[in-house]
């Protein structure tokens, strides 16, 4: 009985439903257009966020169905990052495409938003969800400074960068401040770069030989008579007025052997440059020898181990426990330690401690270049700069690598990575490249192909002039002519920039400014290489470590 009762009930429902009039049917809602994609100058970006956009862009929106041109501009808001409305044109093409263009050129390095809402379709319905595009413009391609010859441009950059060490040198000690906001805080390694920069300044006639000699006499006298030293080595940071150590970190309040090596590299270069027989230049050479011979390089083996240690503190002793080991910026430390007249290390310390018996070798291919030494993809480019301000890598080899090939490969990997731009950062190109440690949007950061966040550091490409002259010149012209209004200031190029953010550092760092002027000079004349490599102790020390070179 239940089966028949249920069947009768279903039949009754169906019969009743069929008898409803059309007036009783609820009409369905007409679906509006759906936003599909957006392109800016033909490019698609995830999330519709675009950077490095041209100043006269075409923004094209596509929809799932035709959109109406009636009252079109009332549904579109084109605004800057200050929420100011911008005039624009808007047209419908092929029924389903909306093309928006600004009426005049946009400001460079500025963010804009285009918001489309409630746009209608002639087929019925309204856009349910807004179509939003965010874009940030790139550089203005107009040249910011008059075009000059390549040699004139190198002169301009060297002279302007020289001002950091000459005009901004500490007034009491003459030593180089860490950065443009450092006050009395000076840096030992950066001061070594500063000494070499002063020699370039004399050579290029930015200052006289007499004035350059007087400044270096001031520096050497302060180092000899005022500064704290630890077994002959210097701290990373010093007070430029008193010579007292300023801690670089909680336990880093004593000797920094690598920074000391950069300082001694500069001092020995000055010793070789000031070769006159007069009393002043003779006294300078003698005083530099006192500082050079006082460094107890061998003592930094920490109880005779076959490796050098980076730090020692009078309070914390060896607690930092950082070995100077493997391929990085510190080759100069082992070269000078092997070259010491008073405290030389043996070759076993170099082979075991620095080269790790060959474990610092790489041999892999990155971006078309085989890298002899070091970390994957080369690491930051200062590895190819700091030790080679004085050490000439041309034709230089030992049991582990040819250093001309090493530095060229490192620079080309860095260049090829930026040119390929695998992360799609705005601005990266064959003319805009160079990743190294520098200031960053969020502080100070190591930049390299394995740790890239869109920040270019001018010192990376410019200090690579001896290795990649054509590519470095292309970068220099881009930095100077195209971005010069943003990054070329009172002391040369500022430390870093990102065209994706956009963000432009206002800072200058001694350890980044120095390699620019020095390595440009090594490219032009080989001046610093010739001076440093002429040191008889360096020749003997490098030979003892197994180096071979036409310059030894």
Percent of all residues in the chain with a pLDDT value above 90, rounded to a whole number: 93
Residue 2 confidence (pLDDT): 41
Is residue 549 one of the residues assigned to a domain? no
Alpha-helical (H) ranges within 321-468 are: 331-339, 347-349, 403-420, 458-462
**Containing structural domain, residue 112:** 35-137
Domain boundary residue, one of 99, 116, 137: 137
Residue 385 lies in a domain: yes
pLDDT at position 21 is 40
Mean confidence (pLDDT) of the chain: 94
The answer to whether residue 10 is domain-embedded is: no
The answer to whether residues 47 and 187 belong to one domain is no
Domain count, the chain: 2
Residue 368 covered by a domain: yes
Pair (219, 105) in one structural domain: no
> Which residue's entry shows tokens 């994609």?
37
Q: Is 144 helix (H, G, I), strand (E, B) or coil?
A: coil
User: CB neighbours (10 Å) of residue 533?
Assistant: 22
84 & 156 share domain: no
440 and 328 in one domain?
yes
How far lies 9's CA from each of 14, 17, 18, 472, in Å? 9, 13, 15, 88
SS (H, E, C) 435-486: CCCEEECCEEECCECCECCCCECHHHHHCCCCCCHHHHHHHHHHHHHHCHHH
For residues 57 and 187, membership in a common domain is answered with no
Q: How confident is the model at residue 31 (pLDDT cuts 50, 70, 90)?
A: confident
pTM, rounded to two decimals? 0.92
Over residues 26-43, the mean pLDDT reads 81
Q: Specify whether 131 is located in the same domain as 167.
A: no
Last residue of a domain, one of 102, 137, 172: 137
Q: 117 with 194, same domain?
A: no
Is 144 within the bounds of a domain?
A: no
Q: Which of 92, 112, 137 is the last residue of a domain?
A: 137
pLDDT over 70 percentage in the chain: 95
Q: What per-residue confidence (pLDDT) applies to 29?
A: 52
Please report, for the domain that includes residue 127, its CATH number. 2.60.40.3710
Neighbours of 11 (CB within 10 A): 10
Same structural domain for residues 108 and 217?
no
Compute the distance between CA of residue 109 and CA of residue 49 in angstroms, rounded to an integer: 14
Tokens of 400: 């582990």
* For range 412-438, the mean pLDDT: 98
Same domain assignment for residues 215 and 70: no
Backbone torsions φ then ψ of 112, nearest 5 degrees: -140, 155
Q: Do residue 274 and residue 169 come from a single domain?
A: yes
Same domain, 127 and 257: no
- Give the pLDDT confidence score for residue 8 in this predicted structure: 35
The CATH number of whichever domain residue 412 belongs to comes to 1.50.10.140
Indicate if 107 and 254 belong to the same structural domain.
no
- Residue 243 in domain: yes
Q: pLDDT at residue 436 above 90?
A: yes
Q: What is the pLDDT of residues 384-411, one digit of tens each?
A: 999 999 999 999 999 999 999 999 999 9
In this structure, how many other beta carbons lie within 10 angstroms of the beta carbon of residue 292? 21
């Amino acid at each position: 009985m239940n089966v028949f009762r249920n069947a009768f009930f279903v039949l009754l429902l169906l019969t009743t439903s069929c008898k409803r009039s059309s007036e009783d049917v609820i009409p369905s809602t007409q679906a509006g257009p759906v936003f599909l994609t957006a392109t800016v100058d033909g490019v698609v970006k995830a999330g519709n966020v675009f950077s490095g956009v041209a100043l006269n862009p075409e923004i094209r929106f596509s929809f799932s169905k035709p959109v109406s041109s009636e009252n079109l501009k009332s549904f579109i808001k084109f605004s800057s990052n200050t929420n100011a409305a911008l005039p624009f044109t808007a047209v419908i093409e092929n029924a389903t495409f909306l093309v928006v263009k600004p009426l005049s050129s946009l400001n460079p390095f500025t963010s804009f938003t285009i918001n489309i809402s409630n746009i209608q379709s002639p087929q019925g319905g309204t856009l349910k969800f807004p179509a939003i595009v965010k874009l940030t413009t790139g550089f203005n391609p107009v040249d910011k400074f008059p075009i000059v010859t390549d040699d004139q441009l190198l002169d301009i950059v060297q002279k302007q960068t020289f001002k950091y060490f000459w005009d901004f040198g500490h007034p009491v000690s003459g030593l180089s401040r860490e950065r443009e906001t450092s006050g009395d805080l000076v840096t030992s390694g950066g001061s070594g770069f500063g000494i070499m920069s002063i020699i370039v300044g004399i050579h290029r006639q930015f200052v006289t030989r007499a004035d350059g000699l007087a400044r270096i006499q001031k520096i050497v006298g302060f180092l000899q008579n005022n500064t704290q030293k630890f077994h002959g080595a210097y701290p990373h940071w010093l007070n430029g007025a008193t010579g007292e150590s300023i801690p670089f970190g909680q336990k880093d309040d004593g000797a920094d052997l690598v920074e000391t090596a950069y300082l001694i590299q500069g001092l020995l270069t000055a010793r070789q440059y000031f070769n006159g027989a007069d009393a002043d230049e003779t006294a300078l050479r003698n005083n530099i020898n006192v500082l050079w011979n006082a460094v107890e390089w061998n003592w930094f083996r920490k109880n005779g181990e076959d490796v050098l240690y980076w730090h020692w503190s009078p309070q914390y002793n060896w607690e930092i426990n950082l070995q100077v080991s493997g391929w990085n910026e510190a080759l100069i430390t082992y070269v000078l330690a092997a070259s010491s007249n008073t405290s030389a290390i043996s070759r076993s310390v170099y082979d075991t401690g620095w080269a790790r018996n060959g474990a610092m070798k790489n041999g892999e291919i990155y971006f078309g270049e085989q890298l002899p030494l070091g970390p994957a993809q080369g690491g930051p480019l200062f590895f190819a700069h700091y030790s080679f301000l004085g050490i000439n890598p041309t034709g230089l080899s030992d049991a582990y690598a040819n250093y001309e090939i090493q530095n060229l490969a490192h620079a080309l990997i860095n260049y090829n990575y930026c040119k390929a731009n695998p992360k799609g950062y705005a601005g990266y190109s064959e003319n805009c490249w160079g990743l190294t440690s520098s200031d960053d949007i969020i502080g100070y950061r190591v930049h390299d192909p394995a740790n890239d966040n869109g920040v270019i550091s001018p010192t990376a490409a410019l200090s690579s002039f001896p290795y990649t002259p054509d590519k470095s010149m292309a970068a220099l012209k881009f930095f100077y002519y195209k971005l010069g209004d943003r990054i070329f200031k009172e002391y040369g190029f500022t430390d870093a920039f990102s065209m994706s953010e956009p963000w432009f550092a206002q800072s200058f760092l001694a350890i980044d400014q120095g390699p620019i002027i020095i390595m440009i000079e090594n490219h032009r004349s080989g001046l610093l290489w010739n001076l440093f490599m002429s040191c008889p102790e360096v020749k003997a020390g490098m030979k003892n470590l197994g180096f071979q070179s036409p310059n030894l």
